[in-house]
Structure 1
Amino acid sequence: MDEQGATGGFWLVDGTWWVLKNLVLAVWNLGYALTHPHLWLDWSNSEAIMRFVYYGGSVELFFVAFTTFLVIFAVGAWKTGFLWGVVRVMEAIFNTIGRVVCWAGLMMVIQQVVIVFMQRIFARPSISLGLGIPVEFDISWWAEELKFYNALIVALCLTYTFVQKGHVRVDLVYSAVSHRTKRAIDMVGSLLFMMPMAVLIWMYSWFFMWRHLIVPNPSASEPLDRLLMKARALRWNVETIGFSPNGFSAYFLFKILLVAMTGLIFLQAATFFYRSYLEFVEGEGSADKHLDKDVLAAAPTGGHEHAEI
C-alpha cells in the first residue's frame, strides 16, 4: 500500500510539473512561432507544411491556447471592463458569422428551385453560371453541392445559436437554483465539457482534414522528425472524388468546415466561461448584459411588439 501511495504521489507531482512546464513554455513557443513565420507559413517549402500540420494538432498549440485563456481571465478578474470587452468582441464575431452564413439557407432554396426547373421543365443536363467565362457543371453536381450549404449552416452557426440561446438545454435542476449557482454550473460545464470536447474533436478533425489534402498521409501519433522525413515526398493530393461520376467534387471543404466548427466551439467555451464568471461576480442584475440578441419584428396587435427568435 505504501509503495502504491508513493507511486501515485510521484505521478501526481510529475503530472503537475509537466503542466506547469508547458504553461511556461507556451509563452516561448508562441513568441518563437511569431518571430519565425517562415518555418511554418512558407508553403513553398514542404517542411514548413509538415511543421504546420504537426503543430496544428500538438500539445504545444493546446498550451498556447490554454495559457492565452488563463492570461485573459487573470487580467479580466482584475479589470472586469477588459473582460466584458473580450466577451462583447467574441460574441460580435460569432453573431456576424452566423448572420452572414445563414443566407446559405436562402441560396440552398433558390438553387434547388433552379435545379427542378432546369431538369424537369427545360430538360437540361447541366447548369452554366457566370459572365464572360461561365462555370458549367452537371445537374448532379449542383444537386450534391446543396449539402455544402447545409454544412455551412450547421458548422458555422453553432456558436451564433449558442449566443442567441437557441440550443436545447436539458434542465434537471438548473431552473430551480439561484443566479450564482447557475453561473457556477455554466463555468464548470464550459471547462469540463465544452473545452475538452472541442480539443478532442480538433485532434481527430485536424489530421482527418490533412489526410485528404496531402500525401504521404500525416498521423497524430507521428513525431515531428518523422513528419519532416515524409516532407521529402510531400505533394498536394486534394480530395475531389464525389459520390457520383459527375457529382460535387470539393468534399475536402467539409473537412475544413469541421476544423473551423471545432475552433469556434473552443472559442465559444472560453467566451461563455468569461461571461458566466462576470455574471457570477456582478450578480443577478448583470444577466445577459451586453448580449446582442436578434428579435423578430411583429405587427402591433395590442400585445407584445417584438417576439424573440
Structure 2
Amino acid sequence: MLDFILWVATGIVRSFWHMAYALTHPGQWLDWSNGESLVRFIYYGASSELFFVVLTLFAILTGVGLWRNSIMWGTVRGLEAFANGVGRVAAWAGLLMVLQQIVIVFAQRIFAQAELGFGFGSTVSFDISWWSEELKLYNAIVVTLCCAYTFVQGGHVRVDLIYAPISHRAKRIVDMCGALLFMMPVAVLLWIYSWYFMWRHLVTPKVSASDQLDLMLRKASIIRWNVETIGFSPNGFNGYFLFKVLLVVFTAMVFLQAVAFFYRSLLELKEGPSSAGKYHDPDVASAAAH
C-alpha cells in the first residue's frame, strides 16, 4: 500500500515537469516526419505519464472550480456543448446511411450496375460491394460520436431500482460516484486498449502496450506508415482503420463527459435542487417528451 501511495505521489509531482516539457518541446512528439517523434507520441499517448498529467489537471480544475463555481459551470457548459455539437452533426450519418442504402438497392436491383459513383464534377466511383460495406462506417459514426450526446440528453436506457425515489442530495452523490468510480476508470482502460489497437493498424513494425520507450525508440529508424487498407472482400470497403480512430475518439468523449457529469453533479449537490438541470441544452423533441 505504501509503495502504491509513493507511486501516485511521485507521478503527480513529476506530471508538472512532463506537462511543461511537452508544451515547450512540441517538436519532439508532434513532428511525425521524424520516426523518434512519432514513436514518442505513440508511447506517451497511453502512458502512465499522460495518466498523471490528466489526473493532476483534473485535480487542479476541481480545486479551482470549488473556489469559483462559475469556472466549474463554464467547464460543464463547454464539455456538454462539445458533446451536443458533435452528436447533432454525427446523427446525420444515420440519414446518409438510409439514403445510400436506397441508392444501392436501386442501382443493384433495377439498373443492374456493378459500380456506383458519387460526386459533383469529379466523381468517386467504387464497386457496389464497397458502398455496401461502407454503410458500417455510418453506423459506427452514430454509435461512437453520439454516445456522449445521448448521455447529455438523458437518452440512454436505465434500469432504475432505487434512484427515482431518493432525495436530490442522494441522487447527486450516486451520480458523482458513478462518474468517478465507473465512467472514468472504464474510459481509461478503453483508451489504453483502443490507442494501441489503432496504431497497430497505422504503422509498422507493430507497437504494443507492453513495449518500453527504449525499445520503441530503437524501432524508430525502421518505423513506417502502414495504414490498413485491406477489406473483407476483394472489392469491399478498405478504410477499416477509420473504425479504430472512431474508437479512440469515442473513448476520449466518454471520459470528457464523465468529467462534465461529475462536475454537474457536484455543483447541483452544492447549490441544491434549484440548480438541477441548470444550463442544460435539451433537444426540442427530448424536452417535449419530458
1:7-22 to structure 2, matched below 5 A, reads 12-22=1-11
Q: How far off its partner does 1:173 sit?
A: 1.3
Could you list the structure 1 runs, at least 4 aligned residues long, displaced by more than 4 angstroms after superposition.
none
Equivalent residue letter for 1:307: A
CA contact (8 A) 1:161 1:167 kept: yes
1:55-74 to structure 2, matched below 5 A, reads 55-74=44-63
Question: Which of residues 206, 212, 216 is equivalent to 1:217?
Answer: 206
Aligned to 2:150: 161
Equivalent residue letter for 1:101: A
Question: CA deviation digits over 1:125-165, x for unaligned, max 9?
Answer: 00112233321100000000000000000000000000000
Aligned to 1:122: 111
1:1-309 to structure 2, matched below 5 A, reads 12-296=1-285, 307-308=288-289
| Corresponding residue SS for 2:112 | coil
Question: CA deviation digits over 1:240-282, x for unaligned, max 9?
Answer: 1111110000000000000000011111111100000000001
CA contact (8 A) 1:209 1:255 kept: yes
CA contact (8 A) 1:240 1:251 kept: yes
- The size of the alignment, in residue pairs, is 290
Using the aligned pairs only, state the percent identity: 59
CA contact (8 A) 1:240 1:252 kept: yes
Larger Rg: 1
| Corresponding residue SS for 1:128 | strand
Cα distance between partner residues in 1 of 2:285 and 2:208: 47
Cα distance between partner residues in 1 of 2:278 and 2:120: 48
Cα distance between partner residues in 2 of 1:98 and 1:220: 30
Superposed CA RMSD in Å reads 1.2
Q: How far off its partner does 1:15 sit?
A: 1.3
Question: What TM-score, normalized by structure 2, do the two folds share?
Answer: 0.98
CA contact (8 A) 1:23 1:63 kept: yes
Q: How far off its partner does 1:236 sit?
A: 1.1
